[in-house]
Amino acid sequence: MKNLLIISLLLIITLFSVKAQKAGNEKLFKDKYIKKTMTRALDWQLKNPKHELYDWTNGAFYAGVFAAWETTGSKKIWNAMYEMGEKNQWKPGPRLHHADDHVICQTYIDMYRVSDERKMIEPFVKTMDEFMATPYETGQIRPITWWWCDALFMAPPALVKLGITLKENKYLELNDKLFKECYNLLYDKDFSLYARDMNYKWNEPGITPIKEANGEKIFWSRGNGWVMGGLVRVLKELPQDYPARDFYLQNFKEMASKIASLQQADGLWRSSLLDPASYPGGEASGSGFYCYALAWGINNGILDKTTYLPVVKKAWVGLNGLIQPDGHVGWCQPIGADPRKNFNAESWEVYGTGAFLLAGSEVIKLKN
Protein backbone atom coordinates (compact mmCIF):
# COMPACT_ATOMS: atom_id res chain seq x y z
CA MET A 1 0.00 0.00 0.00
CA LYS A 2 2.84 2.35 0.93
CA ASN A 3 4.66 1.61 -2.33
CA LEU A 4 1.47 2.23 -4.31
CA LEU A 5 1.10 5.63 -2.63
CA ILE A 6 4.69 6.56 -3.46
CA ILE A 7 4.24 5.54 -7.09
CA SER A 8 1.02 7.56 -7.31
CA LEU A 9 2.74 10.64 -5.88
CA LEU A 10 5.63 10.29 -8.34
CA LEU A 11 3.18 10.03 -11.24
CA ILE A 12 1.36 13.16 -10.09
CA ILE A 13 4.64 15.07 -9.73
CA THR A 14 5.77 13.91 -13.18
CA LEU A 15 2.45 14.94 -14.72
CA PHE A 16 2.62 18.41 -13.21
CA SER A 17 6.26 18.72 -14.29
CA VAL A 18 5.41 17.82 -17.89
CA LYS A 19 2.49 20.28 -17.91
CA ALA A 20 4.68 23.05 -16.47
CA GLN A 21 7.38 22.39 -19.05
CA LYS A 22 4.83 22.41 -21.86
CA ALA A 23 3.41 25.72 -20.63
CA GLY A 24 6.92 27.15 -20.40
CA ASN A 25 7.73 26.03 -23.94
CA GLU A 26 4.49 27.50 -25.31
CA LYS A 27 5.58 30.88 -23.96
CA LEU A 28 8.62 30.74 -26.23
CA PHE A 29 6.36 30.98 -29.29
CA LYS A 30 4.40 34.07 -28.25
CA ASP A 31 5.08 37.11 -30.43
CA LYS A 32 5.86 39.32 -27.46
CA TYR A 33 8.36 36.84 -26.04
CA ILE A 34 10.13 36.30 -29.38
CA LYS A 35 10.53 40.03 -29.98
CA LYS A 36 11.75 40.56 -26.42
CA THR A 37 14.30 37.75 -26.65
CA MET A 38 15.56 38.87 -30.06
CA THR A 39 15.93 42.45 -28.84
CA ARG A 40 17.75 41.35 -25.70
CA ALA A 41 20.26 39.25 -27.65
CA LEU A 42 20.73 42.04 -30.20
CA ASP A 43 21.23 44.73 -27.55
CA TRP A 44 23.85 42.64 -25.78
CA GLN A 45 25.71 42.05 -29.03
CA LEU A 46 25.70 45.71 -30.02
CA LYS A 47 27.22 46.54 -26.62
CA ASN A 48 29.88 43.89 -27.17
CA PRO A 49 31.16 44.47 -30.72
CA LYS A 50 33.80 42.28 -32.32
CA HIS A 51 35.76 42.25 -35.60
CA GLU A 52 35.86 44.84 -38.39
CA LEU A 53 32.37 45.99 -39.30
CA TYR A 54 32.82 44.90 -42.93
CA ASP A 55 34.01 41.43 -41.85
CA TRP A 56 32.01 38.33 -42.78
CA THR A 57 31.28 37.74 -39.11
CA ASN A 58 29.43 41.03 -38.91
CA GLY A 59 27.90 40.48 -42.33
CA ALA A 60 26.11 37.46 -40.87
CA PHE A 61 25.23 39.40 -37.72
CA TYR A 62 23.73 42.34 -39.57
CA ALA A 63 21.70 40.01 -41.80
CA GLY A 64 20.05 39.03 -38.51
CA VAL A 65 19.87 42.64 -37.36
CA PHE A 66 17.93 43.62 -40.48
CA ALA A 67 15.57 40.68 -39.89
CA ALA A 68 15.11 41.89 -36.31
CA TRP A 69 14.30 45.37 -37.60
CA GLU A 70 11.69 43.91 -39.96
CA THR A 71 10.25 41.94 -37.04
CA THR A 72 10.13 44.76 -34.49
CA GLY A 73 10.15 47.99 -36.52
CA SER A 74 12.58 49.41 -33.96
CA LYS A 75 14.07 52.79 -34.87
CA LYS A 76 16.99 51.97 -32.57
CA ILE A 77 17.83 48.91 -34.66
CA TRP A 78 17.61 50.90 -37.89
CA ASN A 79 19.94 53.53 -36.47
CA ALA A 80 22.45 50.85 -35.48
CA MET A 81 22.50 49.52 -39.04
CA TYR A 82 22.80 52.98 -40.50
CA GLU A 83 25.71 53.80 -38.19
CA MET A 84 27.43 50.59 -39.29
CA GLY A 85 26.98 51.49 -42.95
CA GLU A 86 28.31 55.00 -42.48
CA LYS A 87 31.39 53.71 -40.64
CA ASN A 88 32.01 51.27 -43.49
CA GLN A 89 31.31 53.99 -46.08
CA TRP A 90 28.88 51.39 -47.48
CA LYS A 91 31.81 49.46 -48.91
CA PRO A 92 32.35 45.71 -49.07
CA GLY A 93 35.51 44.24 -47.58
CA PRO A 94 38.84 44.82 -49.35
CA ARG A 95 39.27 41.44 -51.09
CA LEU A 96 37.80 41.64 -54.60
CA HIS A 97 36.88 38.00 -55.23
CA HIS A 98 36.46 36.75 -51.68
CA ALA A 99 32.83 35.95 -50.88
CA ASP A 100 33.37 36.74 -47.20
CA ASP A 101 33.91 40.39 -48.10
CA HIS A 102 30.59 40.65 -49.93
CA VAL A 103 28.18 39.44 -47.25
CA ILE A 104 27.85 42.82 -45.51
CA CYS A 105 26.43 44.18 -48.78
CA GLN A 106 23.28 42.11 -48.26
CA THR A 107 22.30 44.52 -45.49
CA TYR A 108 23.27 47.57 -47.54
CA ILE A 109 20.94 46.44 -50.34
CA ASP A 110 18.11 45.63 -47.94
CA MET A 111 18.43 49.11 -46.44
CA TYR A 112 18.60 50.73 -49.88
CA ARG A 113 15.27 49.16 -50.74
CA VAL A 114 13.78 50.97 -47.74
CA SER A 115 15.50 54.35 -47.91
CA ASP A 116 16.42 54.66 -51.62
CA GLU A 117 19.84 56.13 -50.80
CA ARG A 118 22.04 55.20 -53.75
CA LYS A 119 25.21 55.56 -51.68
CA MET A 120 24.25 52.34 -49.92
CA ILE A 121 24.82 50.18 -53.01
CA GLU A 122 27.10 52.16 -55.32
CA PRO A 123 30.39 50.79 -53.89
CA PHE A 124 29.17 47.21 -54.30
CA VAL A 125 28.07 47.86 -57.88
CA LYS A 126 31.56 49.14 -58.68
CA THR A 127 33.16 46.19 -56.90
CA MET A 128 31.11 43.66 -58.85
CA ASP A 129 31.88 45.34 -62.16
CA GLU A 130 35.59 45.01 -61.32
CA PHE A 131 34.97 41.46 -60.07
CA MET A 132 33.52 40.42 -63.43
CA ALA A 133 36.35 42.08 -65.36
CA THR A 134 39.16 40.50 -63.31
CA PRO A 135 40.09 36.80 -63.56
CA TYR A 136 40.24 34.85 -60.30
CA GLU A 137 43.55 33.16 -59.46
CA THR A 138 42.87 29.54 -58.57
CA GLY A 139 44.92 27.19 -56.36
CA GLN A 140 45.15 23.52 -55.36
CA ILE A 141 42.14 23.46 -53.05
CA ARG A 142 40.82 26.65 -54.63
CA PRO A 143 40.00 25.47 -58.17
CA ILE A 144 36.93 27.73 -58.34
CA THR A 145 35.97 31.17 -57.04
CA TRP A 146 33.64 29.93 -54.29
CA TRP A 147 35.79 26.99 -53.21
CA TRP A 148 34.40 26.57 -49.67
CA CYS A 149 30.77 25.95 -48.74
CA ASP A 150 30.51 28.94 -46.36
CA ALA A 151 30.75 31.15 -49.43
CA LEU A 152 27.21 30.15 -50.41
CA PHE A 153 25.78 32.26 -47.59
CA MET A 154 28.20 35.13 -48.06
CA ALA A 155 28.04 36.14 -51.70
CA PRO A 156 25.04 34.58 -53.52
CA PRO A 157 22.31 36.52 -51.67
CA ALA A 158 24.22 39.76 -52.20
CA LEU A 159 24.53 39.13 -55.94
CA VAL A 160 20.91 38.05 -56.31
CA LYS A 161 19.61 40.98 -54.25
CA LEU A 162 21.64 43.36 -56.41
CA GLY A 163 20.39 41.80 -59.63
CA ILE A 164 16.74 41.87 -58.55
CA THR A 165 16.99 45.41 -57.17
CA LEU A 166 18.65 46.86 -60.29
CA LYS A 167 16.85 44.54 -62.73
CA GLU A 168 20.25 43.40 -64.01
CA ASN A 169 20.34 39.74 -65.05
CA LYS A 170 24.13 39.71 -65.28
CA TYR A 171 24.40 39.46 -61.50
CA LEU A 172 21.88 36.61 -61.35
CA GLU A 173 23.65 34.73 -64.13
CA LEU A 174 27.02 35.19 -62.43
CA ASN A 175 25.58 33.79 -59.23
CA ASP A 176 24.12 30.78 -61.05
CA LYS A 177 27.50 30.01 -62.59
CA LEU A 178 29.55 30.33 -59.40
CA PHE A 179 26.98 28.62 -57.16
CA LYS A 180 26.71 25.61 -59.46
CA GLU A 181 30.50 25.34 -59.58
CA CYS A 182 30.55 25.06 -55.80
CA TYR A 183 27.67 22.61 -55.82
CA ASN A 184 29.45 20.38 -58.35
CA LEU A 185 32.68 20.50 -56.36
CA LEU A 186 31.44 20.05 -52.78
CA TYR A 187 27.88 18.69 -52.67
CA ASP A 188 27.76 15.02 -51.67
CA LYS A 189 24.64 13.59 -53.29
CA ASP A 190 24.84 10.41 -51.21
CA PHE A 191 24.50 12.41 -47.98
CA SER A 192 22.70 15.56 -49.23
CA LEU A 193 25.34 17.64 -47.47
CA TYR A 194 28.28 19.84 -48.46
CA ALA A 195 31.92 19.15 -47.68
CA ARG A 196 33.45 22.31 -46.23
CA ASP A 197 36.13 22.32 -48.96
CA MET A 198 38.19 19.81 -50.94
CA ASN A 199 40.20 18.84 -47.84
CA TYR A 200 37.09 17.07 -46.52
CA LYS A 201 36.24 15.12 -49.67
CA TRP A 202 37.01 11.44 -50.09
CA ASN A 203 38.38 9.79 -53.24
CA GLU A 204 40.04 13.05 -54.28
CA PRO A 205 43.46 12.65 -55.99
CA GLY A 206 46.28 14.00 -53.83
CA ILE A 207 44.09 14.46 -50.73
CA THR A 208 44.23 12.00 -47.83
CA PRO A 209 40.70 11.21 -46.61
CA ILE A 210 39.98 12.33 -43.05
CA LYS A 211 37.27 10.82 -40.88
CA GLU A 212 35.44 11.36 -37.64
CA ALA A 213 36.15 9.10 -34.65
CA ASN A 214 33.26 6.85 -35.68
CA GLY A 215 34.63 6.48 -39.22
CA GLU A 216 32.08 8.80 -40.86
CA LYS A 217 32.77 11.61 -43.28
CA ILE A 218 33.22 15.04 -41.78
CA PHE A 219 30.25 17.29 -42.44
CA TRP A 220 30.45 20.49 -40.45
CA SER A 221 27.23 21.79 -38.92
CA ARG A 222 27.89 25.51 -39.37
CA GLY A 223 29.24 24.94 -42.88
CA ASN A 224 26.00 23.31 -43.96
CA GLY A 225 24.09 25.92 -41.97
CA TRP A 226 25.72 28.59 -44.10
CA VAL A 227 24.49 26.79 -47.22
CA MET A 228 20.94 26.35 -45.94
CA GLY A 229 20.77 30.00 -44.92
CA GLY A 230 22.20 31.07 -48.27
CA LEU A 231 19.67 28.99 -50.19
CA VAL A 232 16.82 30.61 -48.27
CA ARG A 233 18.11 34.09 -48.97
CA VAL A 234 18.50 33.32 -52.68
CA LEU A 235 15.09 31.67 -53.00
CA LYS A 236 13.42 34.60 -51.22
CA GLU A 237 14.60 36.83 -54.05
CA LEU A 238 14.18 34.78 -57.21
CA PRO A 239 10.89 35.03 -59.13
CA GLN A 240 8.87 31.82 -59.44
CA ASP A 241 9.59 31.67 -63.17
CA TYR A 242 13.34 32.24 -62.91
CA PRO A 243 14.99 29.49 -65.04
CA ALA A 244 17.43 28.27 -62.36
CA ARG A 245 15.06 28.52 -59.39
CA ASP A 246 14.28 24.78 -59.45
CA PHE A 247 17.98 24.01 -59.00
CA TYR A 248 18.12 25.98 -55.73
CA LEU A 249 14.73 24.64 -54.63
CA GLN A 250 15.74 21.02 -55.13
CA ASN A 251 19.02 21.54 -53.28
CA PHE A 252 17.13 23.16 -50.40
CA LYS A 253 14.56 20.35 -50.13
CA GLU A 254 17.20 17.61 -50.21
CA MET A 255 19.26 19.29 -47.50
CA ALA A 256 16.20 20.06 -45.37
CA SER A 257 15.24 16.39 -45.28
CA LYS A 258 18.74 15.31 -44.30
CA ILE A 259 19.22 18.04 -41.70
CA ALA A 260 15.89 17.25 -40.04
CA SER A 261 16.96 13.62 -39.68
CA LEU A 262 20.15 14.66 -37.85
CA GLN A 263 18.48 16.75 -35.13
CA GLN A 264 19.37 15.59 -31.61
CA ALA A 265 17.04 15.01 -28.67
CA ASP A 266 17.59 18.52 -27.28
CA GLY A 267 16.39 20.03 -30.56
CA LEU A 268 19.85 21.14 -31.65
CA TRP A 269 22.59 19.90 -33.96
CA ARG A 270 26.12 18.92 -32.98
CA SER A 271 29.18 20.51 -34.50
CA SER A 272 29.81 17.34 -36.51
CA LEU A 273 26.62 16.19 -38.17
CA LEU A 274 27.47 12.49 -38.58
CA ASP A 275 29.33 11.95 -35.30
CA PRO A 276 27.25 13.78 -32.68
CA ALA A 277 28.38 11.52 -29.84
CA SER A 278 31.95 12.83 -30.10
CA TYR A 279 31.01 16.47 -29.63
CA PRO A 280 29.63 18.60 -26.77
CA GLY A 281 26.13 20.03 -26.53
CA GLY A 282 24.15 21.68 -29.28
CA GLU A 283 26.04 24.32 -31.30
CA ALA A 284 24.33 27.71 -31.67
CA SER A 285 25.32 28.96 -35.11
CA GLY A 286 24.61 25.84 -37.16
CA SER A 287 21.42 25.14 -35.19
CA GLY A 288 20.29 28.75 -35.62
CA PHE A 289 20.66 28.64 -39.38
CA TYR A 290 18.81 25.32 -39.58
CA CYS A 291 15.93 26.65 -37.49
CA TYR A 292 15.78 29.73 -39.73
CA ALA A 293 15.85 27.75 -42.97
CA LEU A 294 13.33 25.09 -41.96
CA ALA A 295 10.91 27.66 -40.52
CA TRP A 296 11.16 29.70 -43.71
CA GLY A 297 10.45 26.58 -45.76
CA ILE A 298 7.28 25.93 -43.76
CA ASN A 299 6.16 29.56 -43.91
CA ASN A 300 6.49 29.60 -47.68
CA GLY A 301 4.75 26.30 -48.36
CA ILE A 302 7.93 24.58 -49.54
CA LEU A 303 8.31 22.12 -46.67
CA ASP A 304 5.53 19.92 -45.33
CA LYS A 305 4.24 21.46 -42.11
CA THR A 306 3.30 18.16 -40.49
CA THR A 307 6.82 16.83 -40.99
CA TYR A 308 8.90 19.89 -40.23
CA LEU A 309 6.98 21.95 -37.67
CA PRO A 310 7.91 19.61 -34.78
CA VAL A 311 11.55 19.88 -35.87
CA VAL A 312 11.44 23.68 -35.88
CA LYS A 313 9.65 23.86 -32.54
CA LYS A 314 12.22 21.61 -30.89
CA ALA A 315 15.00 23.68 -32.44
CA TRP A 316 13.57 26.98 -31.18
CA VAL A 317 13.14 25.60 -27.67
CA GLY A 318 16.72 24.35 -27.79
CA LEU A 319 18.07 27.67 -29.08
CA ASN A 320 16.35 29.57 -26.29
CA GLY A 321 18.14 27.30 -23.86
CA LEU A 322 21.44 28.69 -25.17
CA ILE A 323 20.57 32.27 -24.17
CA GLN A 324 22.60 33.17 -21.09
CA PRO A 325 21.39 35.29 -18.14
CA ASP A 326 23.05 38.44 -19.52
CA GLY A 327 21.35 37.96 -22.90
CA HIS A 328 24.19 36.63 -25.03
CA VAL A 329 23.85 33.56 -27.25
CA GLY A 330 26.19 30.93 -25.80
CA TRP A 331 27.48 27.60 -27.06
CA CYS A 332 28.72 29.08 -30.34
CA GLN A 333 31.72 27.43 -31.97
CA PRO A 334 34.51 29.96 -32.58
CA ILE A 335 35.79 30.80 -36.05
CA GLY A 336 37.07 27.70 -37.81
CA ALA A 337 36.66 25.42 -40.80
CA ASP A 338 35.52 22.13 -39.31
CA PRO A 339 33.82 20.60 -36.26
CA ARG A 340 35.51 21.42 -32.94
CA LYS A 341 34.86 20.89 -29.23
CA ASN A 342 36.20 24.28 -28.09
CA PHE A 343 33.02 25.98 -26.94
CA ASN A 344 30.68 26.22 -23.95
CA ALA A 345 27.99 28.44 -22.46
CA GLU A 346 30.35 31.42 -22.40
CA SER A 347 31.41 31.02 -26.03
CA TRP A 348 29.79 33.62 -28.26
CA GLU A 349 30.30 35.11 -31.68
CA VAL A 350 28.49 37.79 -33.63
CA TYR A 351 27.44 35.32 -36.32
CA GLY A 352 25.83 33.11 -33.66
CA THR A 353 23.68 36.05 -32.64
CA GLY A 354 22.88 36.72 -36.29
CA ALA A 355 21.72 33.13 -36.78
CA PHE A 356 19.51 33.37 -33.68
CA LEU A 357 17.92 36.60 -34.91
CA LEU A 358 17.24 35.11 -38.33
CA ALA A 359 15.64 32.07 -36.68
CA GLY A 360 13.39 34.25 -34.52
CA SER A 361 12.32 36.30 -37.53
CA GLU A 362 10.84 33.18 -39.14
CA VAL A 363 9.61 31.35 -36.03
CA ILE A 364 7.42 34.36 -35.19
CA LYS A 365 5.59 33.86 -38.52
CA LEU A 366 4.68 30.23 -37.84
CA LYS A 367 1.01 29.41 -37.54
CA ASN A 368 0.44 26.55 -35.12
Mean pLDDT of 66-78: 98
pLDDT digits (tens, 9 = 90+) for 214-229: 999 999 999 999 999 9
* 21, pLDDT greater than 90: no
Which residues are catalytic, by number? 150
Closest-CA residue to 332 (of 279, 271, 273): 271
Confidence tier at 24 by pLDDT (50, 70, 90): confident
Separation of alpha carbons 182 and 204, rounded Å? 15
* 19, pLDDT greater than 90: no
Separation of alpha carbons 125 and 105, rounded Å? 10
pLDDT digits (tens, 9 = 90+) for 149-207: 999 999 999 999 999 999 999 999 999 999 999 999 999 999 999 999 999 999 988 89
* 57, pLDDT greater than 90: yes
Residue 254's contacts (CB-CB under 8 Å, 6 or more residues apart) are: 192
DSSP H or E stretch at residue 199? none
The total of other beta-carbon atoms located within 10 Å of residue 139's CB is: 7
Separation of alpha carbons 105 and 83, rounded Å? 14
Separation of alpha carbons 249 and 259, rounded Å? 15
DSSP H or E stretch at residue 22? helix 2-27
Q: Is 220 helix (H, G, I), strand (E, B) or coil?
A: strand
Q: What is the pLDDT of residue 20?
A: 39
Residues 56, 103: contact at Cβ < 8 Å?
A: yes
* 1, pLDDT greater than 90: no
User: Residues of the chain with pLDDT > 90: what percent?
Assistant: 90
Q: CB-based burial of residue 199 (10 Å sphere; 0-12 exposed, 13-18 middle, 19+ buried)?
A: middle
Residue 305's contacts (CB-CB under 8 Å, 6 or more residues apart) are: 298
Walk me through the domains of the chain, giving residue ranges and CATH numbers: 43-363 (1.50.10.10)
Query: Longest C-alpha distance within the chain, in Å?
Result: 86
